[in-house]
Amino acid sequence: GENVEQHPSTLSVQEGDSAVIKCTYSDSASNYFPWYKQELGKGPQLIIDIRSNVGEKKDQRIAVTLNKTAKHFSLHITETQPEDSAVYFCAAASEPGTYKYIFGTGTRLKVLA
Amino acid sequence: DARVTQTPRDKVTEMGQEVTMRCQPILGHNTVFWYRQTMKQGLELLAYFRNRAPLDDSGMPKDRFSAEMPDATLATLKIQPSEPRDSAVYFCASGLSRASSYNEQFFGPGTRLTVL
């Protein structure tokens, strides 16, 4: 079955710097890759997603890149702000219509003011 | 502002007791997921339903866990008997599933379960 690995498990950056979180997946049939942000005491919330026919997607300060050959994808946050501090989860899915996601283990991002 | 609701938000119980967690999905959503979150395992999918029918509960310990959708507005997750290792945060998520497409899963705030 699908396995998703996520690194690093914790990441501290200075406010204004960039943060990068990387994930690798094992199932070459995976074709949808969402990223979720979980703030303290809340449920995860979708922040950006990418489909396998696209190599990069950007939404303001966040971007996701996908390398299907290497089976890895990354989340990039530029100009980090204190409110970006949270746990970020990547996920992979290969069954359209059911969207059963396999989540990574999460990255705790701390943005230091 | 449509959102998934879960009750209770916190539950402390003793080993051997029955625990029932409830979820109200967003109105109109046809797919419901139950996840368990622990520090060690991250987010694990326990079960999911589409149009109230269970599609996959392979992630759930069958001997003590059960998940149901009595109607379109209520999903329940029961643990009987509960054990200390069940202590975790349980999330419900809902979404609108369309064939051949992927759609966002909307998560509830979670139920924090502590089994003593």
* Residue B93 β-bridge partners: B33, B107
Residue with tokens 């866990």: B65
Identify the pLDDT of residue A14: 97
The predicted structure's pLDDT at residue A53 = 84
Intervals of chain A under pLDDT 50: none
Taking every pair of C-alpha atoms in chain A, what is the biggest distance, in angstroms? 42
3 state SS of A82: helix
Q: Which residues of B touch A93 (CB under 8 A)?
A: 102
Pairing of strands A10-14, A107-112: parallel
Q: From its phi and psi, is residue A111 left (phi > 0), alpha (psi between -120 and 50) or beta?
A: beta
| Residues A34, A89: Cα–Cα separation, whole Å | 8
Residue that the structure tokens 């539950």 belong to: B11
Question: Any CB–CB contact under 8 A between A34 and chain B?
Answer: yes
Find which of B102, B104, B106, B107 to mutate to test the A interface (most A CBs within 10 Å of its CB). B102
pLDDT of res. B55: 87
- Cα distance between residue A97 and residue B50, in whole Å: 10
Torsion region of A41: left, alpha or beta (phi above 0 gives left; psi -120 to 50 gives alpha): left
Higher pLDDT, B6 or B39: B6
In contact, B111 and B9? CB cutoff 8 Å: yes
Q: What is the pLDDT of residue B39?
A: 83
Q: What percent of chain B has pLDDT over 70?
A: 97
A45 vs B contacts (CB less than 8 Å):
107
A11's tokens: 């990441």
Taking an 8 Å cut-off on Cβ atoms, the answer to whether A101 and B105 are in contact is: yes
**pLDDT tens column, B40-89:** 878 999 999 989 998 888 889 889 999 999 999 999 999 999 999 999 99
| A95 vs A32: CA distance, rounded Å | 9
Look at residue B14 and tell me whether its pLDDT is greater than 70.
yes
Mean pLDDT in residue range B100-110: 85
**How many other CB atoms are there within 10 angstroms of residue B112's CB atom?**
16
Q: State CA B17 to chain mean position distance.
A: 18
Q: How far apart are CA B67 and CA A72, in angstroms?
A: 34
Is beta strand A72-77 parallel, antiparallel or unpaired with respect to A62-67?
A: antiparallel
Selected residue of B5, B10, B43 to mutate for chain A interface (largest A Cβ count, 10 A): B43
